Amino acid sequence: MSSVLAICGLNKTYDGGFEALKEIQLEIRKGEIFALLGPNGAGKTTLISIICGITNKSSGIISVNGFDIEKDYRKARQQIGLVPQELTTQAFEKVIDTLTFSRGLFGLKPDKQHIESILKSLSLWDKRDNKIMTLSGGMKRRVLIAKALAHEPQILFLDEPTAGVDVELRKDMWKLVRQLRESGVTIILTTHYIEEAEEMADRVGVINKGQIVLVEEKSALMKKLGSKQLILELQQPLAEIPEALKSYDLSLEGSKLVFTYDSNNPNNGICDLLEQLKADNIRYDDLNTKQSSLEDIFVNLVAKQ
Ligand SMILES: Nc1ncnc2c1ncn2[C@@H]1O[C@H](COP(=O)(O)OP(=O)(O)OP(=O)(O)O)[C@@H](O)[C@H]1O
Ligand SMILES: [Mg+2]
């Protein structure tokens, strides 16, 4: 699959010396949903703001659909729709006018049908003549999405689209994002909700302290999720894993013997392992199992740094 966004050696140091992004390398594939996960202050919004030309980078190269964000700024920007994290709307403007205006800003011809279909897909058609200030918070967020789509962008950035949004609207948004993807739009969303990444993403990236610490297919991550651990509390700590047990995926953590196995596989080896332990006279007081989740992977990655 070809890449629609390429980021190479990107660094950002804010005035005052804070290094918000360090040597970011990232390629986004055409038509994928990419979820960027990271704790508060990790650099997600900074990264998006740089790609969208709102914040200047310190160094590095970014190209959007082949257009360099500096040399070909207008063309690069035209490819992008941005739904910002902070609610920013012209309070006195009518919903429909803000979309029409935004489309015009990008130099596109008016297209009433397109605007109508966006408003309908976001359940805003009934509110089209309302002033934005009269809408609820969730509706305002929908207006921001509608506005970002008015110029038919190829890439849509959603910065925390469902923060502070109720369950129903969240589900609506997920549906809309999938529809957009089906129509060929590439979607990059940032989120704190691991559940959201699990639900939506084709690939997941984790950013922490300005560095990308993981980029992986969600399906590969889910495979990792399929792995489970059996933890045995040994009566006598072992100096090393005995020869007869070397064929098992085992590790020693103090007096704990940890067996990692595939929970999706009925022949996961637990019975054989326990028999082998008995044969080798390795005794344990207690045993329990642990399922790793995307959340564990995420927390581990972030804690390690
Ligand atoms: N204009 C600025 N000047 C100085 N530092 C800034 C500025 N904007 C952001 N930062 C710092 O850069 C870091 C990354 O901020 P950023 O907003 O990109 O994080 P984020 O990952 O989007 O966090 P959140 O999940 O809270 O939205 C933070 O430490 C922040 O304080
Ligand atoms: Mg942010």
Query: Model-level pTM?
Result: 0.81
What does the pLDDT read at residue 284? 96
Residue 251 has pLDDT above 70, yes or no: yes
Fold of 227-304: Alpha-Beta Plaits (3.30.70)
What does the pLDDT read at residue 144? 92
Question: Closest ligand 1 atom, CA of 38?
Answer: 21
Mean pLDDT of 282-305: 78
Mean pLDDT of 201-219: 92
Ligand 1: residue whose CA is nearest its atom 3: 14
Listed in order, the ranges of the chain carrying CATH 3.30.70 are 227-304
Tokens of 278: 């008995």
Supply the mean pLDDT for the chain.
Answer: 90
Whether ligand 1 lies within 6 angstroms of the CB of 191 is answered as no
Domain 3-222, CATH number (from 1.10.10.10, 3.40.50.300, 3.40.190.170, 3.90.180.10): 3.40.50.300
Sign of the alpha-carbon dihedral angle for 259, 297, 156, 125: positive
Residue 48 CA, ligand 1 centroid: distance in Å: 11
What does the pLDDT read at residue 225? 65
How many other C-beta atoms are found inside a 10 Å radius of the C-beta of residue 179?
A: 11
Residue 248 has pLDDT above 60, yes or no: yes
Whether ligand 1 lies within 6 angstroms of the CB of 46 is answered as yes
What does the pLDDT read at residue 6? 97
What does the pLDDT read at residue 292? 66
pLDDT bin (cut points 50, 70, 90) of residue 198 is: confident
Whether ligand 1 lies within 6 angstroms of the CB of 49 is answered as no
Question: Closest ligand 1 atom, CA of 207?
Answer: 21
| Cα–Cα nearest to 52, from 15, 20, 89, 84 | 84
What does the pLDDT read at residue 282? 95
pLDDT tens-digit readout, 142-173? 899 999 999 999 999 999 887 777 787 788 88
Ligand 1: residue whose CA is nearest its atom 16: 43
What does the pLDDT read at residue 109? 95
Question: Closest ligand 1 atom, CA of 16?
Answer: 4
Give the ligand at the shortest distance from the Cα of 193: 1
Ligand 1: residue whose CA is nearest its atom 30: 41
Of residues 25 and 229, the one with the higher pLDDT is 25
Listed in order, the ranges of the chain carrying CATH 3.40.50.300 are 3-222
- The residues whose Cβ lies within 5 A of ligand 2, an ion, are 44-45, 85
Whether ligand 1 lies within 6 angstroms of the CB of 54 is answered as no
**Burial of residue 247 (number of CB atoms within 10 Å: 0-12, 13-18, 19+):** exposed
- Encoded amino acid at 39, one letter: P
